[in-house]
Amino acid sequence: MDTVSENTAFGGVQGVYSHASAETGTEMTFSVYVPPHEPGAKLPVLWYLSGLTCTHANVTEKGEYRAACAEHGVIFIAPDTSPRGDDVPDDEAYDFGKGAGFYVDATEEPWVKNFRMRSYIERELPALIAECFPAADMSRQGITGHSMGGHGALTIALRNPDRFKSVSAFAPIVSPLNCPWGEKALSGYLGPDKSAWREYDACALIDDGLSKSGVSLPNLLIDQGTDDNFLKDQLKTGLLALACKKAAIPATIRMQEGYDHSYYFISTFMADHVRWHAERLR
């Protein structure tokens, strides 16, 4: 792991780091905020997965999480959204290719070699964090994300119920099977067989019974802006509310009046999400 930058913030250290990823076959960059703590202390970890077109930098620069993380003693980790580099395949559209990994392991050419964000987030990066950040308590992890990253947070938490004690999201894509963004991405990365898409759809995972293990999504918080121009056609928050109700999963889904899809919205509620996770990760 190489250090790109480190800066003191709220008594802790905001770092940006890079490493050669075996999963993506590329150099990957991520940010980690470690709040002030006593020597030898172990702190809970909160993952943040970013949305379409973003890198680690968007939330690191605009997310306004550090004060809350310092107050509650939470390590905040923000990975990139896809592999990058001159040799990585891409698409001209903003919602596919670089910046739009959708947190899947691709099975279709030419994406299969590099687009392995599921394995990168679920296995490779956590192992690196455990090795290089001794304050990180990997037995106490929460996950959150925005839009495409909210989709990633929900599906990763559902598939790994023994790892995450809390999950939240800002304006998540709740059912890629039922929206244009998801249909384009999943068909491109995984092929036309929609049965293979279900493990990347939060509503489908809940409907298929993963939630009935008794530990999946034990704590769920969603914030969604009412003025989000993607709400009706792409995000479809109501489908998640219905799936959780049918599966008897407790879910706090808050429709925030007047808010859109931007980081103005995310930064407004970020401190509340950090506090909410901290309470459940104690």
Tens-place pLDDT, residues 61-80: 999 999 999 999 999 999 99
Considering the candidates 146, 261, 273, 277, report the single residue annotated as catalytic: 261
What is the domain partition of the chain in residue ranges? 2-281
Domain 2-281, what fold?
Rossmann fold (3.40.50)
Higher-scoring residue by pLDDT: 57, 215:
57
Q: In this structure, are residues 145 and 169 in contact, taking their beta carbons and an 8 Å threshold?
A: yes
- Reading the block at residue 29, the tokens are 């960059």
* Residue 10 reports pLDDT greater than 80: yes
Ordered strands of the 164-170 beta sheet? 2-9, 12-20, 27-34, 75-78, 43-49, 136-145, 164-170, 220-225, 252-256
Residue of 72, 201, 228, 277 marked active site? 228
- What percent of the chain lies above the pLDDT cut of 90? 93
261 is known as an active-site residue: yes
Peptide bond into 110 cis (omega under 30): yes
Q: Which of 31, 50, 82, 147 is catalytic?
A: 147
Our answer to whether residue 147 is catalytic in this structure is yes
**Res 157: pLDDT:** 93
This prediction has a pTM of 0.96
pLDDT of residue 215: 42
With contact defined as beta carbons under 8 Å apart, do 173 and 150 qualify? yes
- The pLDDT, as a whole number, for residue 247 is 87
